Chains A and B, each alone.
Chain A
């Protein structure tokens, strides 16, 4: 079963605008990761934030984590058409192997010119 939910399920913006996606999860975590998936392809790791971190940046990406609310957000600034993809959050629990990720339901982002 899915660990959590992401919202919105779908997001359509124009190039240059910012895109914000939210993720909620249910159990305590070791870290939370965001992945991107182009249609029908494999997933690409974007960024990882540990449970003791509150915010992390990587290029045009900004991730926040609120462990008290069990939620995270991914902000993509100055979006480009090439950012069109599905975005998934994934959590690693405090027990068990770090290779077992529990994925959210995903947000489909459409960036138009």
Chain B
């Protein structure tokens, strides 16, 4: 079974630009959540999608948005990039049926904002 796939793995943007990151969950997993990891703030929850609906949202500004498609693939978008948005963005999927809270993470997309 293929794991969680995130693309791109690395990207460099400049302030003011926008970026879209993609995540393909494990086959059969309908829940996709996103986390931001920075040295200063650690791992922070961004949002979670289930069956194309956002179920939960973390404490991030409206510049951070996401969506989920009917095949459970998810994208997150950050507009008007700031230097502080430089981070490792991690996507995780879970099996709703299991409801254990165990998440399966992708390798992440490392965003550098110059």
Contacts and interface: CB of A to CB of B under 8 A. Distances in A.
Contacts of A48: 100-102
B45 interface: yes
Interface residues of B, number: 30
Contacts, number: 74
B42 A99 contact: no
Interface stretch (B14-22, B64-72, B78-86, B105-113): B105-113
B43 A42 contact: no
Interface of B: 4, 31, 33, 35, 41-45, 48, 50, 55-56, 58-59, 88, 90, 92, 94, 99-108, 110
16 contacts: A31-B101, A40-B108, A40-B110, A41-B107, A42-B90, A42-B106, A43-B105, A48-B102, A88-B43, A92-B101, A97-B56, A99-B31, A100-B33, A101-B35, A101-B45, A106-B43
Interface of A: 1-2, 30-31, 33, 35, 40-45, 48, 88, 90, 92, 96-106
